[in-house]
Amino acid sequence: MGLFAAMGCGGMQPDASGDTETATARQALTVVKVPQSVAAGAYHSLFLKKDGTVWAWGQNVAGQLGTGGTSGTPQSQPGRVNGLPSIKAVAAGIGHSLALDVSGNVWAWGQNASGQAGLGTAGNPVLVPTKVAALSNVQAIAANGNFSLALGADGRLWAWGQNASGQVGTGNTSAAVAMPVVVQGLPTVRAMAAGVNHALALATDGKVWGWGLNTSAQAGTGATSAAVLAPVQVAGLPLAKAVAAGAGHSLIVDEQFGNVWAWGQNTFGQVGTGSTSATPVVTPVPVNGVFAVTRLVAGHNSSLAIVGNGLTVAWGHNASGQLGNGGTANSASPVGVAGVTDATALAAGAQHALALRPGCPVWTWGNNSQGQLGTGNTSTTPVTAPGTALIANTFYFDGDMDGFGDEYIPEEACEPSFGYVEDLDCDDYSATTHPGAEETCNGMDDDCDGVVDNGSASGGAECSTGQLGVCAVGVTACTNGSVVCQQRQAASVEQCDGLDNDCDGATDEGNPGGLQACATGQLGVCGEGVTYCTHGIIECAPIRGASAEQCDGLDNDCNGQPDDGLSFQSWYRDQDGDSYGQTSQSVLACVQPAGHAPNAGDCNDSNPALHPGAPEICDGVDNDCDSLVDEGLPTQAWYRDADGDGHGTSASPLQKCSQPAGYVSNANDCNDSNAGIRPGAAEVCDGVDNNCNGSIDEAASGPPGSACFAAGFQRVAAGRYHTVALKSDGSVWAWGSNSVGQLGDGTTTDRTTPVQVQGLTGVTAIHAGKHHSVAFKQDGTVWAWGSNQSGQLGDGTTTNRTTPVQVQGLTGVATLHAGGDHTVVLKQDGTVWAWGNNFEGELGDGTTTYRKQPVRVTGLTGVTALGIGSGHTVALKQDGTLWAWGFNSVGQVGDGTKVNRTTPVRVAGLTGVAAVYAGSGHSFALKQDGTLWAWGFNNAGQLGDGTTADRTSPVRVQLSGLTGMTALVASGDPDTDSHHTVILRQDGTVWAWGNNSSGQLGDGTTIRRATPVQVQGLTGVNTLAAGGNHTVAVKQEGSVWAWGSNSSGQLGDGTTTQRTTPVQVRGPAIP
């Protein structure tokens, strides 16, 4: 079943060349006149009468007949659809109906399960015609399956309803589209057709587009597919003038010859190829024997056409006799519909058809099981030949015999009785009053258009009004049923045109348009004029005539030369108003021109302070215009300052009364090409006298070269391959390995000389672990940076940090210490807290769980000092006892075993301890009696007991007469078994023993020592630190010295060369 152009279910749009009359304000008749048309749903039928009323019959299970209810009993006799305005087109789907009123609005009723009524919701049937509010200005409608189409006057196509196959054209599929939407991707459309589940559109250029279900290639893609979700142009077609669509096939009428082309499902021969086929016809083919087609429709599986002036043919499915050829056999070629040679319109439903013919208007045939043929009965027997439906034409009695009848005396018949006519009259008692009659000026509506005396109505002839001036000329007009003379032009303001514009009998009075300034075209003052109206024309008259020449800048004698014959003098252009002008810009005039002065010689006419006779001032300018600058003023010497550092040189001085640009008053710069070299500049280590005092690279109050070495340091700490130092100003500096950011300078670049740790001030203590560093600030906060793989930075993460981050949750800290991969603090309340690596129990919390934030060491109070090794900790309590925990593989815990300890245990046999120290794998205790005791790893003699045997409990260190120890540092690298011990004596000397593979003992050799040897050349030491294989010392005057391994620059001397004796750390000197 299909639509053509704008018909209901099935057909081609008729040419509405003036046939349609709309019910507007100018229509006096109460009934409109529109072309008759028919539409067919699956099992119901619609008829649009000439008077704009809609009639329906057939199935009504979904309210599609518009009766206000539903019924399982078919309505076999036509009944009028109430509640509609005047209608000009109808369409029908499977179970719903559409109507288009004369104002361009769409109405819908019937089935709405898929939103096909277009009211915004899907659901229950719509029982009475309801306006589709979303649409207006519609020119055509179509329906077939369970969706609807509407064509706007602007050529846009709207669709709504069932969209399971994409037939609504939204670009996707859905159960229902309940509100009209514009089909995207189409050019301007002039006609359309709705199939059961697909749609066709005919563009204004004659090309055809298809979309929707495509299982039989009916969308025109040239191949079968499940669905086409967006319009595609149908290939292989000539330009078309009409389209139609059935359940699975599509048809067009070509524009040139009126031939029919078809494609899609051909199971019943509906494509018209001459034979049936189970395989779809995927490309368009012409239907043989059909030409000059004027109407074309498609049933679900059949096709019908009107050839020429009314001959009707059909082909395809015929089980219910819907081909109308007297039989029920399918036909793959067109056959004539019995007796129908004068059809004007067609419609086709699922298995029935309708035709409009002269006389009895509606003829039907095919299936009548639901009363859809309108014959007054239902039957399951096929009706194989056309018969008339029970509906007639309406005619009107023509009492005045003017060819138009009285609407209140109608008759219903196939043909009019004598005296009855088809068209309506607005006054059936006057033969001169009817539609189309000539309108005359008589106060009556002669042509029945609802307007009295409209048009020319005896008017338009020239006449005289009897008034004056322009008001005298008139034209005849019909007014209140009489012909009167109306003036063409009303009175207006008088103009200079030779007419009496204000109709007072006088022409151009009052000099209209006069007394306006104008130009006469003469020379001088004679060129100034005033307008005057003369004989209907505006003329320009001179205001004054020629006179003797005067010195006024005017051409008084009108000879084209102002002030000629008078005496002149020179006047000079004076722009700054100082009464002196530019000599080069002068004019001759009999009086002083504006902007000119009588005196020449101004040397700057943009500055009124500069002119002859002005006082000279010291500004580098010739104020008095005598070609001399600053003459007669006191001067002084000024010296060239080429580098802009505020200090000049004695070469090429200038004597000036004021300071010239680029010059200064002193000549004490020793390098005028470098602004960084000048008196008072900071001396840096660069081999240059930066402060111009005759000495090179000296620190403040220091000897030459002292700026090249680090100074101003108080404390130092050492990691495996890096060194950290604290200056007296509270800043922290670092050098050596920086692989994980342990130098804190925001990078991971190794440094061989000190760099400042970013963002740290006010620091009072530092410590270094294997690959991380920690600092304690005056405000009591603890900060850390570098490796954080075990959470040793205490910031709650395991993310390495290249700049310091604050340790979370710490208050009341007294001292802090860094182990290999963990950190420990002693609080002021005598408790100990730790975080980081805990694989060997080094955090002392009873577990081996890593901690990313501080946890308290279990069961330990009253602590006064700590010693931290790589994986163990030793604590000194107020009572002089020692307690230890953590890694104990070589006895470094000192409890007589080699068992790791996750909570503190007492170090065996020691009391009266005054101080405690720890190395990577060994520990020391200084007793109050001055003796030194050690235990733990001793592979290199680092315990100082004269052996290399490990000790699981304390043994006394043999100091060989060494006394006055003030500090001890013990370190080593647990990954290389490189361990050594260093002590500081009261006399400022440093002694060391243990491993010396990298020269870390500083005795000028790499020989291992089991007893102390003195570090060479080092005195005046204040503090010490021991790293993995290097040692660092800070002297009392703040310089830093280092020796041992230097593979990552950890000695800070600007190299990576190993040193067996101390070298001074290079870097900036701080006073």
Mean pLDDT of the region 746-762:
96
d(CA 690, CA 674): 10
Report yes or no on 621 lying in a domain: no
Secondary structure of residue 469 in the 3-state scheme: helix
Confidence at residue 1069, expressed as pLDDT on a 0 to 100 scale: 46
The pair of three-digit structure tokens given for residue 466, joined into one six-digit string: 């009897």
d(CA 325, CA 412): 30
The percent of residues in the chain predicted with pLDDT above 90, rounded, is 63
Report yes or no on 950 lying in a domain: yes
Phi–psi pair at 155, nearest 5 degrees:
85, 5
What mean pLDDT is reported for the chain?
90
Same domain, 248 and 365: yes
- Which pLDDT band holds residue 1068 (cuts at 50, 70, 90)? low
Is 18 a residue whose pLDDT tops 70? no
Confidence at residue 590, expressed as pLDDT on a 0 to 100 scale: 82
How many CA atoms within 13 Å lie on the side-chain side of 690?
A: 17
Report yes or no on 194 lying in a domain: yes
Phi–psi pair at 707, nearest 5 degrees:
-75, -10
The pair of three-digit structure tokens given for residue 495, joined into one six-digit string: 């103009």
Report yes or no on 610 lying in a domain: no
Phi–psi pair at 1025, nearest 5 degrees:
-150, 145
CB 424 within 8 A of CB 407: yes
Same domain, 295 and 222: yes
- Please give the sequence-ordered ranges of beta strands (E in DSSP) within 337-430, or none if there are none: 345-348, 352-356, 362-368, 379-388, 393-397, 405-413, 420-421, 424-425
C-alpha distances in angstroms, 302 versus 266, 313, 466, 718? Answer: 10, 11, 78, 99
Say which range, 541-545, 729-733, 1026-1030, has the weakest mean pLDDT.
541-545
Same domain, 368 and 406: no
Confidence at residue 718, expressed as pLDDT on a 0 to 100 scale: 95
Report yes or no on 742 lying in a domain: yes
- Interval 913-946: pLDDT, tens: 999 999 889 999 999 998 999 999 998 888 888 8
> Which CATH number fits the domain that encloses residue 275?
2.130.10.30
d(CA 859, CA 874): 14
Report yes or no on 675 lying in a domain: no
The pair of three-digit structure tokens given for residue 342, joined into one six-digit string: 């004068």
Q: Which residue has the tokens 């050596």?
A: 736
- Which pLDDT band holds residue 492 (cuts at 50, 70, 90)? confident
Number of domains in the chain: 3
d(CA 733, CA 1025): 15
- Which residues, 6 or more positions from 691, have their beta carbon under 8 angstroms from its beta carbon? 678, 679, 680, 681, 682, 683
Instruction: Please state whether 909 falls in left (phi above 0), alpha (psi between -120 and 50) or beta.
Output: left
Same domain, 194 and 264: yes
CB 158 within 8 A of CB 210: no
- Which pLDDT band holds residue 873 (cuts at 50, 70, 90)? very high
Query: What is the domain range of residue 251?
Result: 37-388
**Nearest residue to 817 via CA among 863, 858, 779, 762:** 863
Same domain, 1009 and 899: yes
Same domain, 278 and 408: no
Same domain, 1012 and 1046: yes
Same domain, 332 and 407: no
State the DSSP code for 416: P
CA 952 to chain centre: 71
- Interval 104-156: pLDDT, tens: 999 999 999 999 999 999 999 999 999 999 999 999 999 999 999 999 999 99
Is 665 a residue whose pLDDT tops 90? no
Give whichever of 294-303, 458-467, 908-917, 950-959 has the largest mean pLDDT: 294-303
Same domain, 120 and 208: yes
Report yes or no on 954 lying in a domain: yes
Taking the model in full, what pTM does it have?
0.48
Confidence at residue 25, expressed as pLDDT on a 0 to 100 scale: 28
Same domain, 241 and 332: yes
Say which range, 41-55, 241-255, 658-672, has the weakest mean pLDDT.
658-672
Same domain, 345 and 418: no
The pair of three-digit structure tokens given for residue 255, joined into one six-digit string: 């524009």
Confidence at residue 456, expressed as pLDDT on a 0 to 100 scale: 67
Same domain, 335 and 406: no
Is 13 a residue whose pLDDT tops 90? no
Confidence at residue 578, expressed as pLDDT on a 0 to 100 scale: 86
Report yes or no on 444 lying in a domain: no
